[in-house]
């Protein structure tokens, strides 16, 4: 433990001119150490240590972070999602805990052993598709994104977790390149209103892909488009699961109702915000 504290003191010193709390410093330091070496705090308690090359690599990443404000996940090329490591780069959003709620809600809709056809709209890093494929082992998943470069990252993640044979990656703008029918459509679409550009956190706006962040119609464009066109792709008794932006739940719920969906459910995040919505198509 003493060794770990010494390392942290050295790494904290790199932040001497930054107005950042010790908690934030330590969180960033711990993240970089774990990503580059695989070591956690408990490992240092058990007697593990860093060698000189590892210290230099960690310091190099932290210095880049401090100098450029580039998110650490892009600097190390990986992020955590649902407790697992995923490749990311500047062409993909950094996966966030809120999106894990959408995965959890999707996993609650069908039994694990069912043979499902699933559509992931705007797959980005592929984290949603990969987590669903790992759980629904008999599933066939179509994951699409408008960005070929994002799809390249998603394919790497599918290979990493040995589910690439069950995920078909397609370059498409919403439904333009999609055929077939699905039991589940899941999406974390762009949902920040273009009117709210100035309210977006600085490093998010500066470094994360805008096509995956911003949408027209007060951020509702993709919700409405997917709900409206889903009648051609969603099987009877199938579900749509969306991640939501703040203050969008009532309008999206109303649009589901207008288009004949039932069993509309909202799920809150840890801050009490309605973060995920699900709804069912029911024609019988």
pLDDT of residue 2: 47
The whole-angstrom separation of Cα 172 and Cα 143 is: 9
Cross-strand partners of 79: 86
**What's the distance, Cα to Cα, between the start and end of the chain in Å?**
62
Which pTM does this prediction carry?
Answer: 0.92
Enter the DSSP assignment of 194: G
In this predicted model, what pLDDT tens digit does every residue of 147-183 receive, in sequence order? 999 999 999 999 999 999 999 999 988 888 788 999 9
The whole-angstrom separation of Cα 198 and Cα 278 is: 30
Nearest to 192 by CA among 219, 211, 217, 212: 219
3-state secondary structure of 99: helix
Burial 166-183 (b: 16+ CB within 10 A, else e): bbebeebebbeebeeebb
pLDDT of residue 48: 85
Counting as low any pLDDT under 50, the low residues of the chain are 1-2
User: What pairing do the DSSP bridges indicate for beta strands 234-243 and 274-281?
Assistant: antiparallel
The whole-angstrom separation of Cα 43 and Cα 49 is: 8
The encoded tokens of residue 243 equal 């991640």
């Amino acid at each position: 433990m003493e060794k770990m504290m010494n390392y942290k003191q050295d790494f904290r010193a790199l932040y001497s001119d930054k107005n950042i709390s010790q908690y934030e410093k330590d969180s960033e330091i711990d993240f970089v150490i774990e990503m580059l070496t695989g070591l956690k705090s408990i490992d240092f308690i058990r007697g593990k240590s860093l060698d000189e090359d590892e210290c230099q690599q960690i310091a190099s990443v932290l210095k880049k972070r401090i100098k450029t404000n580039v998110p650490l996940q892009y600097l190390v090329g990986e992020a955590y999602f649902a407790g697992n490591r995923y490749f990311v780069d500047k062409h993909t959003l950094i996966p966030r805990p809120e999106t894990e709620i959408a995965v959890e809600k999707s996993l609650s809709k069908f039994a694990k052993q069912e043979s499902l056809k699933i559509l992931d709209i705007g797959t980005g890093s592929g984290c949603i598709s990969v987590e669903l494929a790992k759980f629904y082992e008999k599933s066939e998943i179509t994951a699409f994104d408008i960005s070929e470069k994002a799809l390249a990252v998603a394919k790497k993640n599918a290979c990493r977790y040995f589910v690439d044979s069950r995920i078909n990656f397609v370059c498409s703008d919403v439904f333009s390149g999609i055929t077939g029918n699905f039991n589940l459509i899941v999406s974390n679409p762009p949902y920040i209103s273009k009117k709210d550009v100035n309210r977006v956190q600085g490093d998010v706006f500066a470094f994360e892909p805008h096509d995956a962040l911003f949408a027209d119609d007060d951020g509702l464009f993709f919700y409405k488009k997917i709900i409206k066109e889903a009648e051609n792709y969603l099987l009877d008794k199938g579900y749509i699961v969306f991640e939501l932006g703040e203050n969008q739940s009532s309008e999206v719920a109303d649009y589901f109702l207008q288009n004949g969906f039932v069993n509309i459910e909202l799920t809150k995040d840890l801050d009490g915000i309605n973060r995920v919505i699900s709804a069912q198509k029911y024609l019988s």
